[in-house]
């Protein structure tokens, strides 16, 4: 059957068709639509596949390992920075190995359309010594899922599948199978000791997985996802190594050159050598950081390996068909945007509660010398931009509270943290416990819009639980406030903020009003 699918949707459907038993994920652009698709899919509902959102990527990865422990197939989805949050279970999953197949789907965001950095997840795959896949088309993404789960079980290792924004968020026609494979039966086949990473067991596993690498590399060389083509028997002036979606940009340029397409790692050195031997020079075209290029170059300068490190391709940022074509010697189309066109940055929605929170906060902070506001990850990061210009930091999920504490330790006052509801449960709670334990002189604002708004309105793990969580962590009752962020409540809100800044200890203010986007959606659903 033919379907028009986003890359994310092709991945989701591929996983369902591969006999998935559960997806575990925290929303993050550009990976969110995978889990959303599974939540809405008929087969998934009939089978009762697990698809509820997790509190963060670490809890997601660990739950997936638990499902694998029981012999079933689990998918874990996240954006690239989410892999940092679950790095501990991710890397250790290479040591435990798996029973039921585990695929870790990580969506990288080169050029940072919606992110804080452009880290390349393929490094994590190599680091954890687990096989890595990088589809070049939506069809390949669909087809690869079944392979990924089979291969994961065959090698007893999790498989990392890395996609980038243009794959995740681009639609194409995909041929899908009519039949979905059955789920695995529950079993206890896993070698029990693999799951207990005491040093003696971990050492044994480490030897095993290290020894397995040669086989994984040979599989990548032999398998259908990597392909060396265009060799003529004569030495070509230029050959190409292109991975994942970058392969398409080379195809688009329409050049006829020997080309090694790479979609499965470890990097098959045998094929690389074959290409190098038949070309004067080789250009490496890859989306993200120079992962393949550095491996091919080694530590020495080589005039024969071209790519991001030598300036033929831009050192950072997303590839485009234009920059790839230019690197291949095709003259670029030159045209300018008319100078009157003004930048139009994203902004908080009209009617958004975060707006009222920033209005109140700014009004109060005017009264102090050098106030500092530590921000976090979410829509409210846009409070950095005019007209609010309200935050001084945004580093990673949860860093608002801990940075405010550290700054306070260093003598900063007022030190205010502003964090969203979903970000707070993702990674803010532990930091709040640190602050409570030392009664740090900080004011924490948990701006609760009852959803994970930035990624499109997914459930937020702590909804209806925030006061209880704060009390449980030891925030005192008299310094815990809930307000409704609306212009009419400004006098009350500003007075509470002022009082709590002047209180020299931990206080938590929870402005709570539903996200205007989900509010509109819910109103529409009611009408229908």
Partner 1 sequence: MKTDIILCGVGGQGILSIATIIGEAAMNENLYIKQAEVHGMSQRGGDVQSNLRISSNPIASDLISKGGADVIISMEPMEALRYLPYLNKEGWVITSSVPFVNIPNYPEIENVKKELEKLPNVICIDIEQLAKDNGIPRSANVILLGAAQKALGIDYDKIEAAVRRVFARKGDAIVEANVKALALGKEAQS
Residues that bind partner 1 (CB under 8 A): 2, 4, 6, 29-30, 32-33, 113-114, 166-167, 169-173, 245, 248-249, 251-252, 320-322, 325, 332-333, 335-338, 340-349, 379, 382, 454-456
CB nearer partner 1, residue 143 or residue 217: 143
- The least CB distance from residue 114 to partner 1, in Å, is 3
CB nearer partner 1, residue 223 or residue 321: 321
- CB atoms closer than 10 angstroms to residue 494: 18
Which residue has tokens 């929605």? 349
Q: Dihedrals φ, ψ of 365, to 5°?
A: -70, -20
Tokens of 266: 């470890």
C-alpha–C-alpha distance, residues 375 and 443, integer Å: 12
Distance of CA 344 to the CA centre of its chain: 25
CB nearer partner 1, residue 211 or residue 332: 332
CB nearer partner 1, residue 450 or residue 470: 450
CB nearer partner 1, residue 4 or residue 468: 4
- The least CB distance from residue 509 to partner 1, in Å, is 24
CB nearer partner 1, residue 100 or residue 244: 244
CB nearer partner 1, residue 320 or residue 463: 320
Q: What does each C-alpha distance from 350 to 346, 382, 517 come to in angstroms? A: 12, 13, 10
Helical segments of 227-371, H only: 246-253, 269-277, 291-297, 321-327, 353-365
- The least CB distance from residue 321 to partner 1, in Å, is 4
- The least CB distance from residue 120 to partner 1, in Å, is 19
CB nearer partner 1, residue 93 or residue 138: 138
CB nearer partner 1, residue 256 or residue 336: 336
CB nearer partner 1, residue 62 or residue 286: 286
- The least CB distance from residue 463 to partner 1, in Å, is 21
Contact 65, 101 (CB under 8 A): no
Contact 497, 443 (CB under 8 A): yes
CB nearer partner 1, residue 95 or residue 246: 246
- The least CB distance from residue 272 to partner 1, in Å, is 23
DSSP 25: E
- The least CB distance from residue 386 to partner 1, in Å, is 8
- The least CB distance from residue 172 to partner 1, in Å, is 5
- The least CB distance from residue 153 to partner 1, in Å, is 32
Helical segments of 41-86, H only: 42-47, 57-69, 80-85
- The least CB distance from residue 518 to partner 1, in Å, is 14
Tokens of 27: 């929303």
- The least CB distance from residue 432 to partner 1, in Å, is 26
Helical segments of 315-424, H only: 321-327, 353-365, 399-409, 421-423
CB nearer partner 1, residue 223 or residue 456: 456
**Max CA pair span of the chain:** 81
Which residues in 204-226 are b (16+ Cβ under 10 Å) and which e?
ebeeebeebeeebbebbbebebb
- The least CB distance from residue 137 to partner 1, in Å, is 9
CB nearer partner 1, residue 314 or residue 321: 321
Contact 48, 21 (CB under 8 A): no
Tokens of 230: 């265009």
DSSP 193: G
Q: Dihedrals φ, ψ of 326, to 5°?
A: -65, -40
Closest CA to 406 of 394, 417, 390: 417
C-alpha–C-alpha distance, residues 485 and 274, integer Å: 64
- The least CB distance from residue 244 to partner 1, in Å, is 12
C-alpha–C-alpha distance, residues 7 and 171, integer Å: 6
Tokens of 323: 């920059």
Q: How does strand 227-229 pair with strand 259-262?
A: antiparallel
C-alpha–C-alpha distance, residues 239 and 283, integer Å: 6
Closest CA to 25 of 60, 68, 58, 69: 60
Tokens of 123: 């490094």
């Amino acid at each position: 059957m033919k379907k028009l699918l986003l890359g994310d949707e092709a991945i989701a459907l591929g996983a369902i068709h591969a006999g998935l038993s559960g997806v575990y994920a925290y929303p993050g652009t550009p990976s969110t639509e995978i889990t959303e698709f599974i939540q809405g899919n008929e087969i998934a509902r009939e089978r009762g596949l697990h698809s509820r959102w997790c509190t963060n990527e670490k809890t997601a990865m660990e739950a997936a390992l638990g499902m694998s422990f029981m012999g079933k197939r689990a998918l874990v989805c996240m954006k690239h920075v989410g892999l940092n949050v679950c790095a501990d279970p991710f890397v250790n999953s290479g040591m435990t190995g798996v029973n039921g197949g585990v695929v870790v789907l990580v969506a990288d965001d080169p050029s940072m359309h919606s992110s804080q950095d452009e880290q390349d997840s393929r490094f994590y795959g190599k680091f954890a010594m687990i096989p890595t896949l990088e589809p070049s088309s939506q069809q390949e993404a669909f087809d690869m899922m079944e392979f990924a789960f089979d291969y994961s079980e065959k090698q007893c290792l999790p498989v990392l599948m890395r996609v980038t924004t243009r794959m995740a968020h681009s639609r194409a026609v995909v041929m899908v199978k009519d039949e979905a494979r059955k789920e695995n039966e529950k079993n206890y086949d896993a070698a029990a000791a693999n799951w207990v990473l005491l040093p003696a067991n971990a050492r044994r596993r480490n030897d095993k997985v290290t020894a397995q690498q040669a086989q994984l590399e040979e599989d990548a060389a032999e398998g259908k996802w990597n392909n060396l083509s265009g060799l003529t028997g004569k030495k070509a002036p230029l050959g190409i190594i292109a991975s994942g979606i970058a392969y398409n940009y080379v195809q688009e340029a329409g050049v006829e050159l020997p080309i090694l397409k790479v979609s499965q790692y470890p990097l098959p050195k045998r094929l690389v050598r074959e290409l190098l031997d038949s070309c004067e020079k080789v250009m490496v075209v890859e989306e993200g950081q120079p992962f393949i290029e550095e491996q091919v170059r080694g530590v020495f300068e080589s005039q024969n390996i071209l790519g991001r490190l030598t300036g033929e391709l831009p050192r950072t940022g997303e590839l485009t068909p234009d920059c790839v074509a230019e690197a291949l010697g095709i003259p670029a189309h030159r045209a300018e945007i008319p100078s009157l066109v003004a930048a139009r940055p994203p902004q908080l929605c009209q009617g958004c509660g975060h707006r009222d929170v920033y209005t109140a906060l700014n009004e109060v902070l005017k009264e102090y010398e050098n106030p500092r506001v530590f921000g976090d990850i979410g829509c409210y990061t846009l409070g950095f931009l005019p007209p609010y210009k309200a935050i001084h930091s945004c580093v990673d999920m949860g860093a608002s509270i801990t940075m405010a504490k550290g700054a306070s330790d260093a003598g900063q006052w007022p030190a205010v943290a502003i964090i969203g509801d979903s970000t707070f449960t993702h990674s803010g709670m532990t930091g709040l416990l640190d602050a409570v334990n030392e009664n740090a002189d900080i004011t924490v604002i948990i701006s609760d819009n009852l959803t994970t708004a930035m990624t499109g309105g997914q459930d937020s793990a702590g909804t209806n639980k925030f006061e209880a969580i704060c009390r449980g962590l030891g925030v005192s009752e008299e310094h815990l406030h809930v307000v409704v962020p609306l212009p009419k409540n400004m006098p009350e809100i500003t007075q509470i903020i002022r009082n709590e800044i002047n209180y020299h200890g931990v206080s938590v203010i929870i402005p709570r009003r539903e996200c205007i986007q989900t509010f509109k959606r819910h109103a529409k659903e009611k009408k229908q």
